Every structure is written in structure tokens, then in C-alpha cells.
A and B are shown apart, each in its own frame.
Chain A
């Protein structure tokens, strides 16, 4: 099911995180930036696993999920 091309960049830089924060008007302290970067990379690795999975296009998001 997985595709060979990564759906997410494997090289997310600290500068990229800083720019994303600025986009949201968030200004993390310098000492926090590395930790945010680490956490974002962790989320991105999980997202990569999800994004590379082929789902039938008719499957809708489960936003109003009720099991």
C-alpha cells in the first residue's frame, strides 16, 4: 500500500519550524526551538506513516466519529 516517494520532507530544519511559528505569530524562546523541532519531527514521522497509506477516495474523515 505504501508509495516509494515520501509524502513529507525528511529534512525539516529548525529554520523551517521558526518560520512556521512566525506564520502563527508564535515566538518560542531559543531554548525551546530545538525541542519544538524534535517534537515536530516526531509528529512528521507519524504523519509520514499515515500519508503514505492509500485510502479509497470515498472514505470520509471521521470528524463526527461515533463508533
Chain B
């Protein structure tokens, strides 16, 4: 039976064999969004007409006996920094709402359309992707389906909440410092941040050119692998190969837990890593050098490039920025070039050090966030007795890794009666396949599950 909890590959298979039509799936998903999204505020725009046009085209192909593409009829949605033809690309801002509508879809939306997926709309986010909580003053906060009084994480909070709530089985987002992995952790779903440069950013509103990645959210590792294969390789690699790769398990993989810096999360965060390590039967622990400094360098680059990007608007219409974003962008626009250049030089050094570690190990595991989702509006959190600002520190464990562009799958570890938390499965550049294999192993072992939830 196909329902809101179905995975993308299950929906595509059901449509392919005629158990349900693409239009029926689309109508059901749109009805569910209308019914439930007032609670989660994950969508900022619904593309109803487009969705039915795309779904009808799929049903017509099937009626004509033509082969259907791999994601035929699968509903999905995108963070509202993706260009969608006919809509202004908000990027979470009020300023962009007055921009002309996009003349074309972002490259990844074009690819999803070729793969048969049906676009349902655009999703909430922190303004200009500068945040980890999606507390957006213009469009309201995205709320966590596990507990709507808590943050869905950010900056792709709407993308994660929509998938966690079963409104769509798949969504696209972006990750500059953790904006796929943090909301995946908070909402208890799977998230993939591929290798830097591995997915096209064409038609996506930028944040930090040096660090921006596109990413994918799903409730199963198979959906992540399938979507990534289609988005990355299009028709050159049969998507069946990506699915077959998942069945290889973890035999032969050298896996280690990242220690030291990555052990400063709360009890739940550390317990989740231990649970994953036990399931993977790894007792190896390794230490990455200068991780705190890597995070600092990422912080400087982010502030500087983000501030520079918005400097003209900060001069002319500062009052139109989100009050949470404006001081950060203003401060970033003042960063001296010497700081920025040293941070970029440090990045080259840190990358080399971590590549040396990948000569010994294929996979590293680390917590995704220092704690689970916190209540909306909470300024400070206490981790192991240390009080720290909530919003920047949710990226404590993600920021140093996206800094050097490593491919990472965030896998969920559910806590009965409590909030979920994520663990990062980290691979060497270009080895998304290995991280996805580990995620699939954990899912099949029952360690990582991502049920649709509606609290």
C-alpha cells in the first residue's frame, strides 16, 4: 500500500506497475500538506498546477506504454533557494521576494524532472542560509515534526521537516557548514551532503561560494543513493548500479570513530555514536588534527564571503534583513582580507592532514550535532555543564568537515519517547558510495530508522 510513509522507490515502483497513478499520489500529497503543514510551516510555496502537469505527463507516458523514468511520479520539494520557473527565489529573505521570477529551473530540478519526479513546492529556510535553526522572522520558524515546539534545525529546516512529517519522501537542500546534516539530525532522517563540487549549484542562490554544497534528504538510504546517482550521473550510470552497491555491506571497510574534539557532545550525542560504532563492530578510534581551528577557519570564510555577497543590500536596505541574520552579515562584511586568506591557506593544510587519515581508514564516524533539537527561541544551551549560544554551536561537529568538502551521510538514531539525533558517516572525497553502504547497513540492522512522524 502506498501512503505518506512510503519511500520514493516504493512509490515509483507502484506507479510503474499501475497500482496507483502519479496524479493520485500527487493529490494525496498535496491534501496532506494542506492538512498538516500549518503545524510544521515547512513549505513557503506550493506549486499545485505544475505538480499536476508533471504527474499527468507521467500517467500519459504509462498509458502509452512508454518506459517510465526511475523517479516517475515521486513527489519532492526543494529549499527555497533553488530557482523554480515562475517564482522569485526567496532564499529565506524578504528582499528577494521583490526579485523577478526565475526564468528557468535550477539544474538539479531539471534533472529531477527528467527522472520523473513531481515538484510540489518550495521549502522554508534560515534567511540566506545563515543559521542552524530555521527561525525565520519573515516566514516563521520551521517546526520539528517530533515536537513542534522545537527547531527543525537549519538552514534547510523546511526540507528536513517536510520529509520527517511524511509530506514528501524526498527533498533537496544545501549544506555550507552543516545545513543538511544538522536538520537531518534534529528531524531524525537521512541526509546526504556529497563531495564539494559533486552536484551542480547552477540556479541555486549562493551563500559561501567556497563551501556551498547541494544535498538530499530522505527517509531511507536507498532513496538517498538512488537520488544521488540520478543527480550526479544522470543517464551515464545506470541507477541500478547505485542500488546494487548498497547491498555490498560493510565487509572490508576500515571504520574508525573520530575522537577528541568530536567527544564534546552531550550524553545522547555520544551514546548515538557508540550505538553506531557497536553496530559496525569497530573499536578503532582516530584523532583529526586541529579540528577546532578548522571550524574557526570555516567560520571566518563563511562570515567574509557571506558578508561580501550582501554588502550592497546591507548599505541600501539593511532594515529588510532578518534581525538574526543582519548583524552576522554586517560583521562578516568587515573581515580583513588577511584573515580570510589565512583561513583558505589553513584549509589546504587541513585537507592534506585528513587525507592522510583516509589512507588508514575508509569511513570515520562522528556525531552530527552536540545535542538533539532545542526549543525554538532558545538562545543558550548547556552541553556537559558548558553554556554556549545555541544557534552557531549546532554546527560544532559539521562545520570542520564540510570545510574540506568530504562526502557525509547523516544517519538517524531514534530514541523511544525522546528526540532523535544524527551520526555522521564520513568518507574520503568522491566516495559517497562507501558512506551510503554504511548507512544502508545501519538501516537494515535496525540501528538507523526514519519513520514519518506527526506530533
Contact = CB atoms under 8 A, between A and B. Distances in A.
Contact of A28 (B297, B330, B335, B346): B330
B314 A26 contact: yes
Contacts of A28: 318, 330
B148 interface: no
Contact of B197 (A39, A61, A66): A66
Contact of A62 (B290, B292, B345): B345
Given A47-B300, A67-B196, A20 B210 contact: no
A20 B334 contact: yes
B87 to A, nearest CB: 30
A17 B406 CA distance: 35
Give the contact-size bracket for chain B.
35 or more
A66 B300 CA distance: 19
B379 to A, nearest CB: 12
Interface stretch (B57-65, B95-103, B135-143, B336-344): B336-344
Interface in B121-152: none
Contacts of A55: 342, 345-346, 349
B38 to A, nearest CB: 32
B34 interface: no
B293 A53 contact: yes
Nearest to B198: A67
Contacts of A42: 331, 392
Contacts of B318: 26, 28-29, 32
Given A43-B332, A65-B405, A26 B346 contact: no
Contacts of A60: 345, 348
Contact of A24 (B290, B311, B326, B406): B311
Contacts of B315: 24-27
B344 A43 contact: no
Interface in B182-241: 195-197, 210
A17 B295 CA distance: 24
A51 B344 CA distance: 11
Given A20-B334, A26-B314, A38 B327 contact: yes
B300 A24 contact: no
Contacts of A50: 293, 296-297, 300, 339, 342-343, 346
B348 A65 contact: yes
A56 to B, nearest CB: 8
A46 B300 contact: yes
Interface string A33-62: 001111110110111011101011001111
B311 A26 contact: yes
B261 to A, nearest CB: 13
B334 A24 contact: yes
Given A50-B339, A50-B343, A51-B339, A66 B196 contact: yes
A51 B339 CA distance: 7
Interface string A1-39: 000000010000000010011001111110010011111
Interface in B293-309: 293, 295-297, 299-300, 303
B348 A67 contact: no
A26 B346 CA distance: 30
A23 to B, nearest CB: 8
Q: Which 5 A-B pairs rank lowest in CB-CB distance, beginning with the nearest?
A: A61-B344, A39-B331, A35-B327, A46-B296, A67-B429
11 contacts: A24-B334, A36-B327, A43-B331, A43-B335, A46-B297, A50-B293, A50-B297, A61-B344, A65-B347, A65-B348, A67-B430
Interface of A: 8, 17, 20-21, 24-29, 32, 35-40, 42-43, 45-47, 49-51, 53, 55-56, 59-63, 65-67
Given A21-B330, A49-B296, 9 more contacts: A17-B331, A26-B330, A36-B334, A47-B335, A55-B346, A60-B345, A63-B344, A65-B348, A67-B430
Interface of B: 195-197, 210, 290, 292-293, 295-297, 299-300, 303, 311, 314-315, 318-319, 326-328, 330-335, 338-339, 341-349, 351, 392, 404-406, 429-430
